[in-house]
């Protein structure tokens, strides 16, 4: 039985460890990705997005995370905003 048949994916694309998204010249944003085969890193790649594409991805991720508990180390945009005299808003 192959590893994939036992439930372990043969190929994964994941966030590259030890690398952060960054802004390139011209305003595009680059997200470093790691390519893994059978649990072993084999290559890195970059997903390059325009600002508009990054905003669409950000909105889609926020929508997908709706209702999930916010971890303590989450970025500010995931934390509720408390308005004076009002209830928290996200």
pLDDT averages per 10-residue partition of the chain, 90 residues: 63 90 93 94 95 92 86 80 64
Distance of CA 68 to the CA centre of its chain: 15
Q: What pLDDT is attached to residue 1?
A: 44
Q: What pLDDT is attached to residue 9?
A: 81
Q: Which helix (H) or strand (E) holds 65?
A: helix 51-65
For residue 28 the two structure tokens come to 């595009």
pTM of the model: 0.67
Q: CB count, 10 Å around CB of 54?
A: 19
Q: Where are the domains of the chain?
A: 4-67
């Amino acid at each position: 039985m192959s590893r994939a048949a036992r439930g372990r994916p043969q190929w994964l694309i994941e966030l590259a460890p030890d690398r952060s998204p960054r802004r390139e010249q011209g305003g595009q944003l680059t997200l470093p990705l790691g390519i893994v085969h059978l649990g072993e890193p084999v290559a890195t790649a970059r997903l390059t997005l325009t600002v508009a594409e990054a905003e669409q991805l950000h909105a889609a991720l926020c929508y997908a995370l709706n209702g999930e508990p916010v971890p303590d180390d989450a970025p500010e945009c995931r934390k509720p905003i408390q308005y004076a005299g009002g209830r928290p808003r996200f």
